[in-house]
Structure 1
């Protein structure tokens, strides 16, 4: 008998004690872990709720740049006994207010305000809460609370648990001492019979069956085993003769099958890795199970780094609802195609297919993603769109040029024709002829200036140089000179105030004045009375007009006449 022999009574006692102790240990550990996690989560939720409440209360102080109001909001934290520190930063990351007000602050500036998060350290919970104003970030709130009360309570739980466990173990020892005797005596008797058979090699010996429980069944089975040993020994000797040969044959077959499977697997991996497309397999929770070499190049990560990570961990821009919906729809068995997705990681555009994969039971448990790089196509489409836009603008410029040539040049040309006819009729009057020739020369100069302005506008229409300071008094004088004959024919009276200098296109402003004054002269039944004035609208008037930039300075031009006018419903056209 060897020196490490231990009686079965002791083993049974140890089993009972170990079982009871393990149950108590697991129960106490589960309770302790549950209480620990519960208190931690409760502290995190309470700190998060406090942070959201304070962020709402601090919005006005940040919006009006009132550190005093912000300090009063933070001083309301005096009732929070476990709160250690609170800091409020403005949208530029500068310290705005802090609690307690008399303490020192280590971090007075944060370069990049973090998103909402709450994390645990050894003895505290700390977190950052964005302060939003109308959907825009107005600042950041930092909070830190003490976890010492949680650990003190858990320590009390541990002491109580250890006391209860000690009492339970003592009771288990007393009960195990009596229980093991009813089990160990029959087993010891069976062990004596087995020892005799082993030492004497006498398989005719049988153990006495003195119980009808599991030990009795064990005794019967032991006796049956003795009866079969002789027969089994003979069979074993017979089987051993052919066993080695069969094992060798089976091993060779398995090795051949394994070689074939490895070759097929390597071929499949080579084909997938040789693909120019990004190929990946995601499980039902969005974790990468397989990726090809093109994915490693595109993501800048090795296969070992990618496998097991969630898709939104590698590509944060896939956290939006669009990718989640596509993945969920593919897991429901639908084959989907995402026509265009721009990767924030590489800046490339991809066309992606979501292909459901079925397991042996026919259920979809994975999704195959095949992404084709269409950056070249998207860039070509963008270039084509830009060229179309430039072509449309060129067509509009051409239409503008044709309109100017057919409309704005009519008045100077009409004056040239009229005064040329008058000159021909007054050749015998040199003074009158000279005045008419001056009118013709003035109109010709006006036509030349208009043509030059049109050409300059066509060259500068694609740049900001087309807009220059324009004196509206000069523009009005030129248009008045062009319409000189029509004004005389109508007997019109044109009164003006001093007009300002504005930034714009002199050609287009001239067109505007010409159209308005021409309409005022043409569409009047009596002698036209035309007034052109200017005024500067107030800030309130500018804010009331949609599309105008607040804070900019505007000029309102007023054209008033006694013509037939138009219906009120067309006033905003």
Structure 2
């Protein structure tokens, strides 16, 4: 265990006292040693002197061998109590007397052999010769104890102890005073250090004491505190600014648009770094100017006096701004000393210190940070360094925001491209599907189309109602055929070869009303629902240029949608009107014909209204296909018209079609005259795999006076054509279908042309319009007609491909 710390006062006193005690002990030991040696010598000398005196006095007693005189002489030793024994010997060694008297009666002691004095066995012994006249008369032997030395040293130790005690007391008193001179400055420094440590107050200073060394020590200590205080101030400033950078970085990381990043930077910067003006600018290299993106809200008033506003531009001058856009941080301590335009703005507004920091990313400056203060030379080097670091962080954040924006735009473009591709893919799939079913649908409606047209043409005794019903059936059949042919291309732009005719919108609406009456009147009434029809048709409405069938089909789809939107009944409004952008007398005024279909049904929310034109998008569940409005939009695109949808939930929907009115001076499209049945009689080979179509077409052609031979399949057709050639009764023309099992129409046409090159071949197919649109007419085919066939087109093709014979040949043939 470490010893308990002792105060420096006690330590200093202990050091002084121990030092003094050690000195006293060493000194006393030296004195004792010295006294011991010298006192032994002194004691021997005293015993010797005493022995010489006694020896001199005992010459007479020895000369006369007088024992009594000898004892009297030795009795003188009584005056010296430390002499414990003494004896006189004659020259022959005979003991003559001894001291004390009892010693003479004891056993004879032989005198020592050698003269002299020495210490032996705790005694001082001496042998002194008794000489008279140069003749040795005998010997004196002495023994003295060491009591005198002991007494002397006892006195010496007593005096020494007293002296040491006095010295210790004096040393204590002196050391107590001296240690204060040493410990007081040290304790003062310790107290100051403790205050600094406890309160972390580095502004405390120690008082400078007297004394050179302590003064140096205190000055060094105070200088250390000054340095620590300065470093701590810098450290706090750096920590504060690092925290500001951290907060700015975190705040900018949560934002992805450039202006928002700039605003949050200026907001945090103004809170922690006092600025009178701050703004962010974007560098436009092409215009050699800075565009002010964001001005700090706290600088708005000063910005007005500076003539700076957001979205404004500042031309690049040749002083600070030119250097800044080159990537250099520019600090103007006093704008009054700068003659260039931009610093002078600040100088005239009373703002004298200006810092312009570049926003640099990947060695490219895309903007600057402008910071200013009113007081000149008010930005320290630390402030400039902080603004430089801040500009780097802002540049990175802004660059990330730009990258995020570009990425978002790229993502949006990609998403739109994907949606467009998906939509095109859906349209392509729809076109392929339509192409696949067109043949079957057209074959199915062809007999109805042929018989309807034939009845209208050949039965003049039909009642008006029957003729109207047949006309409606004929119109419906034509619409079905047109719908099927358009399904694969309803989103394609209008073909340049698409022939437009003048269309009366009011007449088309009346036809659509009759076509859809069962849907908006009869079927709802079966469910006890009433839908009222309201027509608001403008009088003297000009015609438009368009495809009547497509317009009729589009209006039919709109009426169906309106009826579906009113499951509980309501009002269906059909409206036409003429709008003009100029006065009535202005011949150059743009006139538009509006056709509107409105309902009072459930309406659409914004999401549904936005997506309702997408193919396959429907809100009807399994009842809907999602193609009705898409086909309407396709018709609008092909007619270069406009489509507007106004709808709100619970208020119904209004769909408006806007067409350009036809020029009043335009020549109406002449409807070709109806061709009468051909005068000449033809031998026709009809090849098809649909029995119903064969029967209906055979009946119609035979009514026109032709001789018709049918073949149910391609191979049968080839065989019958070859047989007719063999028998000398060739066919005048061949009408064949395209899609037939095993042997299709292409092989039939090739075989016919191979056997008789001059025999015309007509390809009658449900894919006719597609083949004509794609210019994919098979080889060996003279004419392509679409199903369902129109009698006028069929008769015209027969007349063109088989010209009438010369009269002479006709007479020979009739004979």
TM score, norm. by length of structure 1 = 0.32
Greater gyration radius: 2
Relative to its length, the structure with more helix (as a share) is 1
